[in-house]
Amino acid sequence: MKEVSKKGNHRNSERFSTGIGVLMATLGSAVGLGNIWKFPYLTGSNGGAAFLIVYIICTILVGFPILVAEHMLGRKGRGDAVSTFENVAPKSAWWVIGASGILAAFLIMAFYTEVAGWVFAYVFKSFGSGLLSTDPEVTSSIFASLVSNPVQSLIWQWIVLAVVGAIIMLGVAKGIEGTTKRLLPILALLLIIIGIRSITLPGAGQGLSFLFKPDFSKITAPVILTAMGLAFFKLSIGMGCMLTYGSYYSEDQNIPKNAARVVAADLTVSILAGIAIFPAVFSFGFEPAAGTQLLFITIPSVFASMPLGGVFMVAFFLLTAFAAIGAMISLVEVVVAFLVNRTKLGRKKSTLITVVSMAVVGSLAALSNSTMANVTVFGKTFFDLYDYVSSNILLPVGGLMIAIFATWVWGWPRFKEALSNNGALANEGVLKAVYNILKFVSPVLVAIILLTGLNIVHI
């Protein structure tokens, strides 16, 4: 529902209903393929434990404060990614953050829907017996036959978009809360079961050392940028997504506390995914730096070595598909909320236009392991390019601007008022710390990491 206030601004009037609903809905956006697919693959390709440490530091010093700022501004502005800035900073250019966020939503969805398509396809493959193998060659060739088939790649991606589009058309609160609420705890439990199997495999210790014993010689400026990009991607920040969610928060929600829980739960799921995967990687002789395919080639080997593996594998890919859907809903919602507020299209048409455009942009990513494998820009396929530009450039730049806005422009008095719920919460000490980090630490870190990681400045 939209509501145009007397001042003529675009403000929404929908709210998340309950406290636990807020936490779960926000987690529904944060937890997704980022935890299950991207985190393990990047950790594997960037040297393991040292990458994990840099990633955690970025999450605490950059991710958490920006998440808090987005929820705060979203609740104040009560609009979509663009209108929120127009509401909290009228007659200024800050709305550009929201506009860049809409671009980011397209780029992220373009590759995200492809990976989600692989997950959907694996749900079906899990019903057969062929996938259950501990032989790297077998699992790799099954994956290769899927991604090198252009028709299958496109169709799975479109199925994903159709499913997400249909859910969005049902409406914000119901669509988002309903799908994600119940499933996350089950996913976490399943990851624990898989993790236990994985760490009891012969030779598993090597995988645990890889994940938890840092070798700091692996750390370079581009690796740090990748870790920071992952921190943004994981928490769905830097592009107006959490801003849009903040606009559904009620006035009495404790934003910093909720954000801390989101960060903790999200990190836990990622680390559980790492524990499920890396011991098996070393036990069966997979390559930790296998890249985007890591999840899909290694996880079947864990299932192949446990009782009822086939059943667990169906459940695993199904739950991963649900987690991915929750995250995609939040991405599509950024664009749809904007269109609903700004045009006369209405929710259904806005959703349709959005997902169809995403299918067009996304098809270039879907085909980048087959028909378009040799088409590269800056040496990257479209799949990699979309991922790189969104995670390593657009999100950090957006986050940097949000940090600057929330502190240097918005300022302490309003920050304190908004996040203490007008003084109802006795959390001034915490707020002061978050504020100072957001004002002095996060922007400087983001700027340095961006400039060095993109090779603009050398130190």
Q: Interface residues with ligand TRP (CB under 6 A)?
A: 29-30, 32-35, 108, 233-234, 236, 239, 241, 327, 330-331, 395
The secondary structure of 256-302 as a DSSP string is HHHHHHHHHHHHHHHHHHHHHHHHHHHHTT--TT-GGGHHHHHHHHH
In the bound state with ligand TRP, the residue whose beta carbon lies nearer, of 31 and 404, is 31
In the bound state with ligand TRP, the residue whose beta carbon lies nearer, of 66 and 241, is 241
3-state SS assignment for residue 377: strand
Residues 6+ apart with CB under 8 A from 338: 80, 81, 82, 83, 98, 102
Helix (H) or strand (E) holding 79: none
CB of 327 to ligand TRP, least distance (A): 4
Handedness of CA 441, 442, 445, 448 (dihedral sign): negative
Running DSSP on this structure, what letter comes out for residue 90?
Answer: T
CB of 396 to ligand TRP, least distance (A): 11
CB of 405 to ligand TRP, least distance (A): 18
Running DSSP on this structure, what letter comes out for residue 129?
Answer: S
In the bound state with ligand TRP, the residue whose beta carbon lies nearer, of 36 and 201, is 36
In the bound state with ligand TRP, the residue whose beta carbon lies nearer, of 201 and 395, is 395
In the bound state with ligand TRP, the residue whose beta carbon lies nearer, of 28 and 310, is 28
**Rounded to 5 degrees, what angle do the CA atoms 168, 169, 175 make?**
45
3-state SS assignment for residue 369: helix
CB of 300 to ligand TRP, least distance (A): 21
CB of 132 to ligand TRP, least distance (A): 26
In the bound state with ligand TRP, the residue whose beta carbon lies nearer, of 296 and 435, is 296
Taking Cα atoms as reference points, which of 196, 239, 217, 214 lies closest to residue 337?
239
CB of 108 to ligand TRP, least distance (A): 5
Task: Give the nearest residue (CB) to ligand TRP.
Answer: 34
Rounded CA separation 210/294 (Å): 15
